[in-house]
Amino acid sequence: MKHCVITGANRGIGLELVRTYLARDEWHVHACCREPDKAEALRDLVPANLGRITLHRLEVTDQKAVEALARDLSDLPFGLLINNAGIKGGEHQALNDMDYDAWAETLTVNTIAPFRVTEALLPSLRRTPGAMVATISSQLGAMSLRGADRYAYRSSKAAVNKVMQGMAEDLRGDGITCVLFHPGWVKTDMGGENAEILAGESATGIAQTLDRLTLTDSGGFFKWNGEKHEW
Ligand SMILES: NC(=O)c1ccc[n+]([C@@H]2O[C@H](COP(=O)([O-])OP(=O)(O)OC[C@H]3O[C@@H](n4cnc5c(N)ncnc54)[C@H](OP(=O)(O)O)[C@@H]3O)[C@@H](O)[C@H]2O)c1
């Protein structure tokens, strides 16, 4: 049995990533969310998947909680971490209309937390041949895509791209592949009703792309459909 860890697993793309990996018999899914007790959609998956899903309480910005998760998983050789949890940032993130505290929070969740979680889980990842870390970024973080709205969100995703590119270099010697994804414009609470694809399509595409990636792809930025994304 292979083990994977997914953050922000209670709704949206994270929940569909959980469903996607549960549909593959070889995986045990460690689904992490802030309030497992209230994560009804996630909890509904447990009875049909007993022994293949474990719910963990995880606020990704909380170092103690991250360390506790790492301790819980320390005996497991898990092969995949998906840093999915993210926020779109505050309501005010434009020139002359900036909520600076919300911007700092956005960086804390979207940029620093993926590093924090990955770093804490490295001992287990290092023990697993072919281990992978996938971080859900966004096309809005690409330098090639111009746009002046959503400074906080865009900068947090541009920064996590650079962070994970660095981790890819640091961890190449350990055989750990680190990649980034733009998940598409996805119908979730964040993406809204007008988005282009369903969360299930995004999750399936990400999983299928991960299936074919290897260490030589480490440091890459991909779209949910497997195409390379421009930086
Ligand atoms: N939807 C899109 O079109 C789109 C496009 C590009 C990129 N993305 C990225 O895709 C990822 C998933 O987005 P989504 O559309 O599924 O968003 P979503 O429906 O808003 O879900 C966000 C998830 O992240 C969790 N989360 C937020 N802050 C957290 C924290 N501090 N600690 C732990 N969990 C936290 C949320 O948990 P709670 O329920 O506890 O808040 C929720 O499970 C994000 O990284 C997002 O930036 C989405």
pLDDT tens sequence across 119-165: 999 999 999 999 999 999 999 999 999 988 899 999 999 999 999 99
The single residue listed with the structure tokens 């981790």 is 167
pTM of the model: 0.98
Q: Using a 6 Å cutoff on CB, does residue 11 contact ligand 1?
A: yes
Does residue 207 contact residue 22 with C-beta atoms inside 8 Å?
no
Does residue 4 contact residue 82 with C-beta atoms inside 8 Å?
yes
Confidence band of 78 (pLDDT split at 50, 70, 90): confident
User: pLDDT, tens digit, for every residue of 168-205?
Assistant: 999 999 999 999 999 999 999 999 999 999 999 999 99
Is residue 151 annotated as part of the catalytic site, yes or no? yes
Closest CA to 164 of 228, 120, 116, 202: 116
Closest CA to 57 of 36, 78, 86: 36
What is the residue-averaged pLDDT of the chain? 97
Chosen CATH of 2-223 out of 3.20.20.80, 3.30.465.10, 3.40.50.720, 3.30.420.40: 3.40.50.720
Domain ranges within the chain, ordered by starting residue: 2-223
Tell me the percentage of the chain whose pLDDT exceeds 70.
Answer: 100
Q: Using a 6 Å cutoff on CB, does residue 124 contact ligand 1?
A: no
Bridge partner residues of 82 (DSSP): 6, 134
Does residue 213 contact residue 175 with C-beta atoms inside 8 Å?
no
Q: Using a 6 Å cutoff on CB, does residue 12 contact ligand 1?
A: yes
